[in-house]
Amino acid sequence: MAQSRYNPRDRETHWQKVWADKDLFHAKDDDPGEKYYVLEMFPYPSGRIHMGHVRNYTMGDVVARYKRAMGFNVLHPMGWDSFGMPAENAAIQRGVHPREWTYANIDAMRGQLKALGLSLDWSRELATSDPEYYAQEQRLFLDFLQAGLVSRHTAKVNWDPVDQTVLANEQVIDGKGWRSGAEVEQRELTQWFLNISDMSEELLDALDGLERWPDKVRTMQRNWIGRSEGLQFKLDLVDDTNAPAGELEVFSTRHDTIFGMTFCAVSIDHPLAQQAAENDAGLAEYIEEVRRIGTTEEALEKAEKTGHALGLRVVHPFIEGKTVPVFAANFVLMSYGTGAIFGCPGHDQRDFDFCKALGIDIIPVVASADLKGEALAGYVSGYCDRDEIYDGDGVLINSEFLDGLGIPAAKEEIAKRFEAKGKGERKVNYRLRDWGVSRQRYWGCPIPVIHCPTCGVVPVPDKDLPVELPDDVTFDKPGNPLDHHPTWKHVACPKCGEAAVRETDTFDTFVDSSWYFARFCAPHADIPTVREQVDAWLPVDQYIGGIEHAILHLLYSRFFTRAMKATGHVGLDEPFAGLFTQGMVNHETYKLADGSWVMPSDVRIEGEGTARKALHVETGAPVRIGPVEKMSKSKHNTVDPEDIIGHYGADTIRWFMLSDSPPERDVQWTEAGVEGAWRFVQRLWRLVTDLAPRAGSRDAEQPATFGEDALALRRATHKALSEVSKDIEALRFNRAVAHIYEFANTLSALPENKDEDFGWALREALETLIVLFGPMMPHLGEECWKQLGASDALLTETPWPKVDAELLVEDTVTIAVQVNGKRRDELTVARDAPKEDIEAAALRLENVLRAIEGRDIKKVIVVPQRIVNVVA
């Protein structure tokens, strides 16, 4: 039969229009089906979609289409995380207004996403930079403020000197700004904070309930929150004349080692150090020096441990007459615990290093329980010469009343004694800091407060919301354009009417993305959320996005949801019931001899294996093939999805993105891989057009019985249906793809059977095949569906077929026969054959007899439907 090639360019736009005209992806609030909310992390509108987006949104779309076919009422929305620095950079560099730049990008990217054939509900589209959206964000913030979930105070903050803004701790990566890559400095500024640390315990505990989250992400969040249990207690201070000089409060998780205390140390920012520095020029100088070196993480890593005595001593709480010196030390952080520690060099590496450097005593107070007598004496006397401290399990030594106790018992004893004296209490400390959300930037959501000289901080009244960004701003000098604006910030105080100024800081853009999933439930409402809608749609059943948001966005969203619950905007704690983190898209990197990067599209590859060479297309110059790395603009190893869609169509790129690599792992983009996907698109088209004429009429009744060929085909059909369904359900797209290939291979090698029952089975098989690949290649699916004349409805409207479980059960099974654990033969027996029969048949096999070689048979293990193992 004459073959026409499937032309995706033409057909894909056709089917996209058909779907749009029928409004098939509009999520209706009153649909009777069970709801299913599938969401992919919304993009920043940088201008063009990249392969990571394609992978992410394709996965989500497969789930959405599958769930829809399963009868769920699916919510699958899309929006834009459209505030942020790049828009301002464009304004600075190219003189284009951030709004114009952003919305032009959104238009371009919307078109690209539509070309992918995603089954999105565009009626719910939102952009965080729309006043419609950020007005509600301002309402939320003011509600949080009223509920005590927000605070404003000066704090040492991470200052990005390039972006000229503050960064949250989570946005500092290896001491550098997450966006600019600049070395972050420490500055003291007044900032707005969301009190996320108040929820440390809740955020930590609730991780256990997030069963459909990757363990990796839960572990990362656990570590980030960083819970540690210990004792916070006060030690008496004396000055150099031995007169009482107040108290020093410290926190420790190893208070069992109190008898090993040989010094105490405070942060250079600790009040005690500050105070002492006033009368001690040497100390003041030391503090300055530490501060200078101490701003970058890199410096911290290399810095030797140093300290400067304060001239104070701490009285040992349990050893009569013993005092130890107090230092200001460079390794003690003001931001954790009390900013002060007691030093036990015996069992803390940092304290150990410090004491070695300063020549302070080291006393071991914990030893492994099996050290006795001489061995124990050797351990103690040789301790100072070790390179590493002992921090393993053991019993207390050199510790008077604690001697012989285990570590937990010793901790308990010490805690009790401090509590009894009223000088200490058990405390849980967290590493998690409050979330600073003030940014000194223009292109963000204005923080809706007014600063009045008499009334202080005054929330903008609801009737005056939203506080809109002014359009007429300039970017000709560094700093915040809102602050430079001649009039915008000058307003009358809503309380007293006197002259006041607006807050000119805007929100961190992570605020915008911390609640958009809730906004999608009623995206155009004039209040932040409509309870009826959020209660119906939330939580997100399946959230899909990159692992890079494991902490930042996902932790903030979890906090925000709780804050929204506290203020009545939602009714639940956890926004995302299921989370999936997809891997990255990688590509080889290419460089010319002079070290400059070359785009893949400018490289021609020749040869295979070790003879594989790359040449520059334009000049023919040799190109060095570098390591496979994440696609990034800086390495010039990106491939533009639009080019691929233009060349091969959306179905091909979608199929390739789902093939081969498990979705949570990185995938390597290769030209050969795309071509393979393209060939399969054409192959499916040929398969359906070739076989369609042999398929029975769609109106034919199901035959009462099936012949051997028809039955075999039906078994293959239902096996594929069962496997692919399970795979999609578990997001194992690569396996779903493999099972579809397998089924297609079966259909390519059908027997020449013209019987009516076979025709019926063939129609069933073809319809099933199309349904199975439909979520992945929806345009080709529709086209094949029409070609087959499957039904009057679209494939997209067709329910997922039901598996006939009886067809999954084979009558006979082939099992392996082992002798002493080595496979020697196989055996095909009836599925329900009794053990004795299987054993007898196995022992008749020639290969088995030869392997036994006349030895005695000691035992025969028969696992029906699995294996036989003869032990001889």
Partner RNA sequence: GCGGACGUGGUGGAACUGGUAGACACACGGGACUUAAAAUCCCGAGGGAGGUGACUCCCGUGCGGGUUCGAGUCCCGCCGUCCGCACCA
Distances in Å between the Cα of 205 and the Cα atoms of 200, 201, 210, 567 are 9, 6, 10, 21
- Whichever of 513 and 869 has its CB closer to RNA, that residue is 869
- Whichever of 69 and 731 has its CB closer to RNA, that residue is 731
- Whichever of 224 and 580 has its CB closer to RNA, that residue is 224
- Whichever of 119 and 768 has its CB closer to RNA, that residue is 768
- Whichever of 251 and 556 has its CB closer to RNA, that residue is 251
Q: What is the DSSP letter of 246?
A: E
Cα 633 from Cα 601, distance rounded (Å):
13
- Whichever of 145 and 815 has its CB closer to RNA, that residue is 815
Nearest CA among 255, 236, 397, 246 for reference residue 322: 236
Under DSSP, is residue 230 helix (H, G, I), strand (E, B) or coil? strand
Work out how close the CB of 649 gets to RNA at its nearest, in angstroms, rounded to a whole number.
Answer: 15
Work out how close the CB of 170 gets to RNA at its nearest, in angstroms, rounded to a whole number.
Answer: 7
Under DSSP, is residue 565 helix (H, G, I), strand (E, B) or coil? helix
In this structure, is the dihedral angle defined by the CA atoms of residues 45, 49, 52 and 56, taken in order, positive or negative? positive
Work out how close the CB of 175 gets to RNA at its nearest, in angstroms, rounded to a whole number.
Answer: 9
Work out how close the CB of 10 gets to RNA at its nearest, in angstroms, rounded to a whole number.
Answer: 19
Cβ atoms of 76 and 117 within 8 Å: the answer is no
Cα 204 from Cα 225, distance rounded (Å):
7
Work out how close the CB of 832 gets to RNA at its nearest, in angstroms, rounded to a whole number.
Answer: 17
Distances in Å between the Cα of 401 and the Cα atoms of 282, 313, 329, 363, 828 are 40, 24, 31, 16, 74
The strand pairing partners of 166, in sequence order, are 159
- Whichever of 190 and 219 has its CB closer to RNA, that residue is 219
Work out how close the CB of 621 gets to RNA at its nearest, in angstroms, rounded to a whole number.
Answer: 24
% helix / strand / coil in the chain, to the nearest 5? 40, 20, 35
Instruction: Write the burial class of residue 381 (CB in 10 Å: 0-12 exposed, 13-18 middle, 19+ buried).
Output: exposed
Distances in Å between the Cα of 520 and the Cα atoms of 399, 524, 525 are 62, 9, 10
Work out how close the CB of 292 gets to RNA at its nearest, in angstroms, rounded to a whole number.
Answer: 13
Cα 41 from Cα 113, distance rounded (Å):
14
- Whichever of 251 and 800 has its CB closer to RNA, that residue is 251
AA letter at 449? V
Cβ atoms of 356 and 294 within 8 Å: the answer is no
Cβ partners under 8 Å of residue 232, min gap 6: 249, 250, 251, 337, 338, 424, 425, 426, 427
Under DSSP, is residue 704 helix (H, G, I), strand (E, B) or coil? coil
- Whichever of 20 and 300 has its CB closer to RNA, that residue is 300
- Whichever of 518 and 784 has its CB closer to RNA, that residue is 784
Work out how close the CB of 149 gets to RNA at its nearest, in angstroms, rounded to a whole number.
Answer: 22
Torsion of CA 792, 795, 798, 804, to 10 degrees: 110
Whose tokens are 């963000």? That residue is: 444
- Whichever of 411 and 569 has its CB closer to RNA, that residue is 411
Work out how close the CB of 40 gets to RNA at its nearest, in angstroms, rounded to a whole number.
Answer: 20
Work out how close the CB of 640 gets to RNA at its nearest, in angstroms, rounded to a whole number.
Answer: 21
Work out how close the CB of 433 gets to RNA at its nearest, in angstroms, rounded to a whole number.
Answer: 8
Tell how far CA 40 is from the center of its chain. Answer: 12
